[in-house]
Amino acid sequence: PGFWWHVRNKVRPSFWLGWLAVQLAHGLTALTGIPTLTSELRLRLRKHDGQMVDYGVVSRRVVTSAGVGFIVDAWQNTVELENMKYHGCGTGTTAEASGDTALVTESTTALNPDSTRATGTQTEPASNQVTSTGTLTFDASAAVTEHGLFSQAATGGGVLFDRSVFSAINVVSGDSIQFAYTLTLTAGG
């Protein structure tokens, strides 16, 4: 992605505040024994010519209130937690907030197939982590700046578990972005 993309992304308040929040959360867990829930989003761009560009961690925010409610509902067996695996993206730049219920400007017609979120493959990289990895393919140009993890494949609905905003990644027809979302639950002590 280049040095300047990383600089632009890392000087955004939501990026460094997210990094700081994760460090504090893990430190507070160690100090107080209070369990924490943190997240991170990594992405890789596959250009139409086959070139792979690894952007690394682009965001560490925000598990939404609706996402937390979804966990509570899953505990009561009214929803299935494993359905939280659909990756959407968009071009909105409004900062993340815990009250978000959708992406600001979700991509629909730029995707191939249109209006369909990528179905993530879920893995367990550590006993306290779950990762959902999904790839969205584009058939039009877009400046992708936001990602969301949802409970349904069709755009325009479902519960938004987490929303991330990052510096623009420009895509053209034939490009694809692989999103890897990791949720870490740290046990109390």
Alpha-carbon distance of 102 to 156, in angstroms, equals 8
Task: Give me the residues of the chain with pLDDT under 70, please.
Answer: 23, 189
Residue 13: phi and psi, rounded to 5, are: -55, -40
pLDDT at 189: 66
Q: Going by DSSP bridges, is the β-strand pair 142-150/160-171 parallel, antiparallel, or unpaired?
A: antiparallel
pTM here? 0.88
Distances in Å between the alpha carbon of 71 and those of 47, 68, 99? 36, 5, 16
At 86-122, the pLDDT tens digits run 999 999 999 999 999 999 999 999 999 999 999 999 9
pLDDT at 11: 79
